[in-house]
């Protein structure tokens, strides 16, 4: 664990207790990639159902572009606003309190719903193994519960151990993809891989170009959550260096994993199957006929789901904790454990919510709510970076990283988010309307009721000069 | 009773044990420290000391 000595004496002098700066770039990588990598093992492939295998590849590149913009923009702002809450703290300083409140809720919803989806996935996989081994009457409930509770316990006990574990299991899951890739002899098409037979001019885009647009929402799975690296800002030893480095390294890892995943699956599985299966990489391993690969990819899938849920608990709790610290929610949530130096009340508060959703929501609903909240957040980022550069131009404050070609990435990000919203509207219009209505209602609550409790001068903490024009 | 049934019971038992331990620790910490101490974390304090933003 990261510390064994209490930071303060019980009931003694009011010495301050805060989160512990113990993380390095590898932990940032483990947090970002850990949350996301599960998307290579399941989820992205539904874009093939919407538009065919070629659509899945085009979406991979387009959404990859969207997330590269997200990673670059996020790295620049976070290397300057190094506080727990990540995008919430950015929004608070750059846009304003109402935007910040909404962004924090996007974060909590996106991560909690993703955690729920991951737990369902891991639980279902274990149940499948039990059923295949001949057991009857085994249900997934105990495995779902154990998955969430163990990870909450880990997060409660300290961030260093949490992300050390995430680093190991994420690396193992990533290695399973690499092993599968080299095992199918990618250098000689026709031996194992049969891309030419699986993807033909007649089935590459079975629904035409609209199929590509429809596939966008599932393409998000390839990278959903990489922006979560910023939640570690207050616990990283050198945020200005570690956050951009860890985030960009994570994005490169994901781009490589996504390309390898598409190539293997598109070359081994017909698009009709690829578009509906829940476990494309595992199915690809089964097609090879190798028991070793089957074993490896099964556990790769389980570990990626566990790593993702683990990172999500970490991030959702930091966002909730930050809201409490600024009195956007009761300050009770901003307590830090004096021994483990974690936001323990926020971690515990979110646990029953995740457990409830695990039992009442299905996988599709949970992940759709997660994706919706994520895309709302990315849309905010495109506006946020333009305001950031206008208010504090280059040279006015020190930046750990400066992203190139501004404002092109911001414009591109906004356009790609608009396309993704259209795609979500095509497939999940009612959920989109319900989610937006929810955010409007809570915004009204915050504006007319909760904001009176906020100490307005205390919430802006960065030692920056006045913004340009003020 | 099959092995998987035992594993299921084991999962429930371990989950309950961990939840009980966390609640016990939470109550213990809340009783041992004042609310002012526990909620004393402030955003940006380290940055205020280490980063001056003078170019």
A230-264: pLDDT as tens digits: 888 889 988 888 888 898 899 999 999 999 999 99
User: A347 to chain B, minimum CA–CA distance in Å?
Assistant: 10
Q: Nearest CB to A17: which of B9, B12, B37?
A: B37
**Residue to test with chain B: of A240, A335, A337, A349, most B Cβ within 10 A:** A335
**Do the chains contact at A325 and B43, CB–CB below 8 Å?**
yes
How does A127-165 read in b/e, with b if 16+ C-beta sit within 10 Å? Answer: bbebeeeebeebebebbbbbbbbbbbbbbbbbbbebbbb
A148 to chain B: closest CA residue: B15
A310-332: pLDDT as tens digits: 999 999 999 999 999 999 999 99
* pLDDT confidence of residue A14: 55
Mean pLDDT is highest, among A12-26, A66-80, A421-435, A438-452, for A438-452
**Residue to test with chain A: of B17, B46, B47, most A Cβ within 10 A:** B47
Please say whether the beta carbons of A61 and A236 come within 8 A: no
Q: Is the pLDDT of residue A344 over 70?
A: yes
Q: How far apart are CA A340 and CA A177, in angstroms?
A: 35
**Do the chains contact at B48 and A19, CB–CB below 8 Å?**
no
User: Is residue B8 one of the residues assigned to a domain?
Assistant: no
Find, among A81, A82, A27, A69, the residue nearest to A245 by Cα.
A27
Q: How far apart are CA A58 and CA A155, in angstroms?
A: 37
| pLDDT tier for residue B48 given thresholds of 50, 70 and 90 | very low
Q: Tell me, letter by letter, the H, E, C secondary structure of A264-291.
A: HHHHHCCHHHHCCCCCHHHHHHHHHCCH
DSSP letter at A394 equals: B
Contact of B14 with chain A, judged by CB distance below 8 Å, is answered with yes
User: Is residue B2 one of the residues assigned to a domain?
Assistant: no
On the question of a cis peptide bond just before residue A407, with omega within 30 degrees of 0, the verdict is yes
Q: Where are the domains positioned within chain A?
A: 34-459
Burial of residue A33 (CB within 10 Å: 0-12, 13-18, 19+) is buried
Helices A408-448, A53-78: inter-axial angle, 10-degree rounding: 70
Find, among A264, A291, A292, A265, the residue nearest to A278 by Cα.
A265
User: B24 to chain A, minimum CA–CA distance in Å?
Assistant: 12
Q: How far apart are CA B38 and CA A214, in angstroms?
A: 48
B6 to chain A: closest CA residue: A138
Contact of B50 with chain A, judged by CB distance below 8 Å, is answered with no
**Do the chains contact at B4 and A152, CB–CB below 8 Å?**
no
Q: Which helix (H) or strand (E) holds A384?
A: helix A363-391
Please give the C-alpha separations between residue A420 and each of A1, A71, A223, A365, in angstroms, as whole numbers: 41, 18, 14, 17
**Do the chains contact at A395 and B33, CB–CB below 8 Å?**
no
Range in A145-154, A337-346, B45-54 the model is least confident about = B45-54
Please say whether the beta carbons of A87 and A103 come within 8 A: yes
User: Is residue B51 one of the residues assigned to a domain?
Assistant: yes
**Do the chains contact at A338 and B14, CB–CB below 8 Å?**
no
* pLDDT confidence of residue A398: 85
Find, among A254, A345, A318, the residue nearest to A78 by Cα.
A318
| pLDDT tier for residue B35 given thresholds of 50, 70 and 90 | very high
For residue A23, the SS3 value is: strand
Please say whether the beta carbons of A264 and A180 come within 8 A: yes
> Which single residue is written with the structure tokens 């599709």?
A364
How confident is the prediction for chain A on average, in pLDDT? 90
User: Is residue B35 one of the residues assigned to a domain?
Assistant: yes
Residue of higher predicted confidence among A13 and A400: A400
| pLDDT tier for residue B53 given thresholds of 50, 70 and 90 | very low
Mean predicted confidence (pLDDT) in A416-443: 90
User: A42 to chain B, minimum CA–CA distance in Å?
Assistant: 25
Q: Predicted ipTM?
A: 0.88
Give the domain extent around B30: 15-55
DSSP letter at A21 equals: -
Range in A42-46, A334-338, A363-367, A369-373 the model is least confident about = A363-367
Q: Is the pLDDT of residue A1 over 50?
A: no
Task: Please name the fold of domain A34-459.
Answer: Amino acid/polyamine transporter I (1.20.1740)
Please provide residue A210's backbone torsions phi and psi, each rounded to the nearest 5 degrees: -65, -25
**Do the chains contact at A17 and B38, CB–CB below 8 Å?**
yes
User: Is residue B22 one of the residues assigned to a domain?
Assistant: yes
Total domains, chain B: 1
Q: Which residues in chain B are closer than 8 Å to A322, comparing Cβ atoms?
A: 43
Q: Nearest CB to A145: which of B12, B26, B38?
A: B12
């Amino acid at each position: 664990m990261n510390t064994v000595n209490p930071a303060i004496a019980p009931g003694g002098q009011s010495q301050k207790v805060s989160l512990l700066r113990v993380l390095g770039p590898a932990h940032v990588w483990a947090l970002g990639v850990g949350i996301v990598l599960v998307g290579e093992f399941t989820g992205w492939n539904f874009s093939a159902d919407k538009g065919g295998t070629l659509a899945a590849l085009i979406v991979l590149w387009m959404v990859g572009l969207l997330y590269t913009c997200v990673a670059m923009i996020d790295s620049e702002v976070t290397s300057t606003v190094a506080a727990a809450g990540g995008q919430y703290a950015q929004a608070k300083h750059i846009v304003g309190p109402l935007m910040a409140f909404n962004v924090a809720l996007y974060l909590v919803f996106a991560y909690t719903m993703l955690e729920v989806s991951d737990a369902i996935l891991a639980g279902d996989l274990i149940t499948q193994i039990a059923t295949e081994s001949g057991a009857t009457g085994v249900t997934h409930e105990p495995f779902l519960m154990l998955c969430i509770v163990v990870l909450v316990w880990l997060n409660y006990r300290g961030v260093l151990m949490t992300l050390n574990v995430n680093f190991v299991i994420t690396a193992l899951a990533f290695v399973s993809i690499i092993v599968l890739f080299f095992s199918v002899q990618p250098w000689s098409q026709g031996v194992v891989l049969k891309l030419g037979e699986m993807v033909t001019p007649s089935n590459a885009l079975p629904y035409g170009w609209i199929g590509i647009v429809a596939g966008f929402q599932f393409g998000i799975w390839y990278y959903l959550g990489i922006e979560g690296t910023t939640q570690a800002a207050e616990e990283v030893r050198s945020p200005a260096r570690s956050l951009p480095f860890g985030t960009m390294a994570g994005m490169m890892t994901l781009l490589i994993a996504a390309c390898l995943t598409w190539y293997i699956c598109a070359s081994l599985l017909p698009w009709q199957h690829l578009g509906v299966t829940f476990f494309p990489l595992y199915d690809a391993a089964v097609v090879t006929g190798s028991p070793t690969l089957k074993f490896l990819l099964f556990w790769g899938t389980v570990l990626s789901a566990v790593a993702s849920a683990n990172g999500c608990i970490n991030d959702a709790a930091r966002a909730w904790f930050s809201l409490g610290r600024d009195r956007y929610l009761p300050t009770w949530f901003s307590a830090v454990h004096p021994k483990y130096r974690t936001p323990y009340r926020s971690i515990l508060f979110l646990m029953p919510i995740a457990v409830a959703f695990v039992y009442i929501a299905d996988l599709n609903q949970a992940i759709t709510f997660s994706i919706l909240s994520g895309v709302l957040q990315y849309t905010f980022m495109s506006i946020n970076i333009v305001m950031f550069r206008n208010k504090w131009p280059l040279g006015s404050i020190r930046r750990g990283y400066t992203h190139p070609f501004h404002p092109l990435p911001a414009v591109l990000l906004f356009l790609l988010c608009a396309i993704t919203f259209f795609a979500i509207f095509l497939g999940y219009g009612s959920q989109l309307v319900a989610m937006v209505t929810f955010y409007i209602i809570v915004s009204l609550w915050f504006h007319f009721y909760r904001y009176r409790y906020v100490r307005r001068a205390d919430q802006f903490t960065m030692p920056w000069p006045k913004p340009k024009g003020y | 009773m099959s092995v998987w049934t035992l594993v299921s019971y084991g999962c429930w038992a371990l989950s309950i044990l961990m939840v009980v331990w966390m609640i016990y620790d939470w109550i213990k910490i809340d009783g041992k420290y004042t609310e002012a101490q526990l909620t004393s974390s402030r955003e940006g304090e380290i940055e205020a000391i280490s980063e001056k933003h003078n170019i």
